Structure 1
Amino acid sequence: MKSASNPNAQKKERKLLPVIDLKCFGCGSENPHGLRMRFETDGSRLYSRLSIAEHLRGWSNLAHGGVISSILDEVMSWTAICLSERLILTKKMEVEFLRPVLIKEEIFAEGWSDEIIDGRTAIISAHITDAKGNVLARAKGNFALLKKSSFERLGITVENLPNSIETLLEIVANLKNMDEDK
Structure 2
Amino acid sequence: MPPSQCLTFRALAYNNAWANHRLLAACAGLGQDAFEAPRTGFFPSIRATLNHILVIDRFYVDALEGGTLGPAAWADPLPCPTLADLRPAQAAVDRRLIAFCEALAPDGLAAVTRVHRQGHVQEERTDRLLLHLFLHQVHHRGQAHAMLSGTGVPPPQLDEFFAAGEAPLRAAEFAALGWREETVWG
**Given the two structures, how large is their TM-score scaled by the length of structure 1?**
0.31
Question: Higher relative contact order at CA 8 Å, sep ≥6: structure 1 or structure 2?
Answer: 2
Greater helix proportion: 2
**Given the two structures, how large is their TM-score scaled by the length of structure 2?**
0.30
